A and B are shown apart, each in its own frame.
Chain A
Amino acid sequence: MKPDQRSFRIALLADRFVNPPPGELDGLAVAARAGWGVMQLPAADYPAQIAGRILAEVAEQLEEFSRHGYDFVVVGECGGLPAALGAVGLPVPDQIMPSTAQELLGLLKARPAPPGSSWPGLA
Chain B
Amino acid sequence: MAERGTRPSIGRSYAHGMGVAFVAHCLLNQNSKVGDGAHCAGVYSPVVDVLRDAGWRIEQMPCPELAFTGLNRFWAVREQLDTAAYRKHCRRLALTVADMISVRVQQGEDIVLIGVEGSPSMGVRITSSDPARGGLPEWPEGTSELTSGEGIFVEELRRELGSRGIAAGTSGETHALPDHDEAAQRARISAALDGR
Which positions in A face B, CB cutoff 8 Å?
1-10, 18-24, 26, 28-29, 31-40, 43, 45-47, 50, 53-54, 57-58, 60-61, 64-65, 68, 70, 101, 119, 121-123
Contact = CB atoms under 8 A, between A and B. Distances in A.
B169 interface: no
Task: List 3 tightest A-B contacts by C-beta distance, closest first.
Answer: A37-B29, A35-B1, A35-B41
B36 interface: yes
A1 B36 contact: yes
Contact of A32 (B43, B62, B63, B72): B43
A53 B103 CA distance: 14
Contact of B29 (A2, A10, A122): A10
A116 to B, nearest CB: 9
Given A1-B36, A46-B100, A32 B71 contact: no
Contact of A4 (B32, B35, B48): B35
B13 A24 contact: yes
Interface residues of B, number: 46
Contacts, number: 144
Interface stretch (B2-10, B78-86, B149-157, B185-193): B2-10
A2 B15 CA distance: 36
A122 B35 contact: yes
A5 B11 CA distance: 26
Given A61-B32, A61-B62, A19 B42 contact: no
Interface in B1-50: 1-3, 6-11, 13-15, 25, 28-33, 35-43, 45, 48
B57 interface: yes
Given A53-B96, A60-B67, A61-B63, A32 B36 contact: no
A6 B68 CA distance: 20
15 contacts: A10-B31, A23-B13, A24-B13, A26-B10, A28-B8, A28-B43, A36-B42, A37-B43, A39-B29, A46-B103, A50-B100, A57-B62, A57-B96, A61-B62, A64-B71
Nearest to B33: A6
A70 B125 CA distance: 32
Given A6-B33, A61-B63, A65-B31, A26 B58 contact: no
B103 A47 contact: yes
